[in-house]
Structure 1
């Protein structure tokens, strides 16, 4: 016990003698590890998704206390976009037609979602940091995939004992929307391809990556979530066409032909007939009518339900308690009017465009030693693009776990871009 006391006393004395830069790096290192651990545990329980950002937020504040001048945020030129978007979200609550309702949806995201871009931004300084992020995503989807495989054969998942839902796997997330999570998280996990020894051929590395991610791909397929299917497929398509290789028309035509074949001859859930009968069409029409009644600044944050009821509109093909339009871009329009759509898209897509240009330039014009860094950054960027793709048919923008996925990957992507331009990341 005395030895332990002496060790603690010595550590405190050493910490007291440390410079501000040394303290800042200590907090940043701790922040990085807590972030990647929470990323790996993300799909396995709400407590991990809530505790991780809170602890990371404390470490981030401590890091900024000693090292803000050297932080990625200090060097990031797009802070005004964050300020503009977050100011809009605050205003969208204050001018809401039902402010308590809007606040209930926005409040949990203050720490579970909107803090994560700044956390993710600071965890990246080198290729080693990006490796940790990719490995964390690999672990998360691999073990979640194993749970899905177990559920497929046993009828219930191994962690919570949840049954298969309407013929669709749920993994440990208790809902088939685990397919949306997998569709997003699988994209940075595919960065495992870039971690394999370079002497192997690209196809050989792709085969090994597919083998490692096979359980995750199994769950992604049999969750039967079309938004998740689109997210993963779309993210890989963007990587192939716009980032990792030179543009060629066959790269567009081959996937397009495959998509047509899938619609015409694939499973029922992917068929054109199913798409035409999708209940989302009715919901989208309601969202448009809410926009028409509040065209400039919208009805308020997450007010699809109150806005629909105020207009006396009835849902015929969908449950009446659906709280959002299953399209975040239509939600920006109904929640925030034209102003909301412009600010929301400028924030989400403006940052994606900025990062894409830097990452692509790094891959094609950077030094050979930095190629792995920029390739890993590209896979994380693809994960963020997968999040934007699910937004076309998926959740409420303020769905905490889903927003956390997008904002965390956005932060890591932006941090990689800033770090990659400021120092040698090899």
Structure 2
């Protein structure tokens, strides 16, 4: 229940979710101590430790000569909480018989978020109050515009629960049910992530390349209906699409406008990496280093560190600029470990882990823009999914 509580408490604010996380950390320490004799033999715990080191060591190494040492070292210390949390998840969910209920519970919570988003789309108001004027903000509220990427990343749980409970008809309904709020939330990264999720489910259901191609075409036709309706019914969504299409003009100014200034942030992130190739400018130090590496006329360079370019907006550039080649090498090693574990797992374990695995895959898809993986909020979502992934792969029906 504590793991589910983290998801429930994400919308009100990171402080509430961290309170639930703190209880998980305490429980993880207690469980780990009580079962310390068998921890080394537990495959899930070993996987968690390996993946945690691939995530945490880059931050630790980057902090020694960080441009903002106080910020980096506090981040390094704060990240330690994810290890006992993930161990708690692994030990608490090792009974494979729990997993259908876990997936269903997560799917039900997300379905409530989606219902609230639909109500807000029609009325302008939801549980968290009035929507943002430019984007659907849903249960996260107008001051915390994270609905789009969060729904997109967690959508595998909604689709998986619908497929398991209602078959393919339920999967189709869930696809449209989640599509509209994700579109109206206005996060283009979320659009791409959701498209990847849908393609993965289509591939899983189709079973052959020819059938996959046909079903993908059918899904595109089905998606076109709500997209066209949204273009005519939502001026904010229409403006978001128009802004994206401006990139087709091919000029530097149009591409910068379409990318919301990302074309200024990404070269600056690369210059940080060139200046600090080994271990980067320091974890969470991007915003403090930005001004000294920004190009001429970059408006982000003159902004307050808490209001300007806060992070690289791209996972590879975030890792390179903040943790250098050491960080990238360790992250790649972590991906190899996670993929190898998936490859060696049996069919039942893969079925349990499918939703968190797919969520992690689209969350870290390198040809997209991203939130900050070493930040408190997105880092928590990342480790919540990673803990579920490790626990699902290592669960045992005889536990």
TM-score bracket relative to the smaller structure: 0.7 to 0.9
Where does 1:294-373 land on structure 2 (aligned, <5 Å)?
Answer: 294-311=276-293, 313-314=295-296, 316=298, 320=303, 321-347=308-334, 349-359=335-345, 362-363=346-347, 370=348
Pick from 263, 272, 292: which aligns with 1:281? 263
Alpha carbons 2:206, 2:215 under 8 Å: kept? no
**1:397 maps to what in 2?**
373
Pick from 2, 6, 11: which aligns with 1:43? 11
Pick from 125, 134, 137: which aligns with 1:170? 137
SS at match of 2:331: helix
Query: 1:323: how far off?
Result: 1.4
Query: 1:415: how far off?
Result: 1.6
RMSD: 3.4
Alpha carbons 1:180, 1:390 under 8 Å: kept? no
Q: Deviations over 1:102-153 (max 9, x none)?
A: 2355554443x55543333233223432223312322321222222223223
TM-score, scaled to structure 1: 0.75
**2:360 maps to what in 1?**
384
Assess, with a 3 A threshold, how the Cα gap between structure 1 residues 272 and 209 changes in structure 2: closer, same or farther.
closer
Pick from 173, 192, 209: which aligns with 1:248? 209
Counterpart Cα distance in 2 of 1:323 and 1:343: 23
Counterpart Cα distance in 2 of 1:221 and 1:288: 31
Query: 1:379: how far off?
Result: 1.7
Q: Does 1:129 align with 2:129?
A: no
**2:21 maps to what in 1?**
53
Pick from 179, 182, 187: which aligns with 2:148? 179
Assess, with a 3 A threshold, how the Cα gap between structure 1 residues 342 and 65 changes in structure 2: closer, same or farther.
same
Structure 2 residues without counterparts, runs of 5 or longer: 232-237, 249-254
**2:53 maps to what in 1?**
83
Counterpart Cα distance in 2 of 1:407 and 1:391: 21
Counterpart Cα distance in 1 of 2:96 and 2:163: 11
Question: Over alpha carbons, which structure has the higher Rg?
Answer: 1
Assess, with a 3 A threshold, how the Cα gap between structure 1 residues 342 and 289 changes in structure 2: closer, same or farther.
same
Structure 1 residues without counterparts, runs of 5 or longer: 1-32, 364-369
Q: Does 1:291 align with 2:273?
A: yes
Counterpart Cα distance in 1 of 2:92 and 2:164: 19
Alpha carbons 1:150, 1:158 under 8 Å: kept? no
Alpha carbons 1:194, 1:376 under 8 Å: kept? no
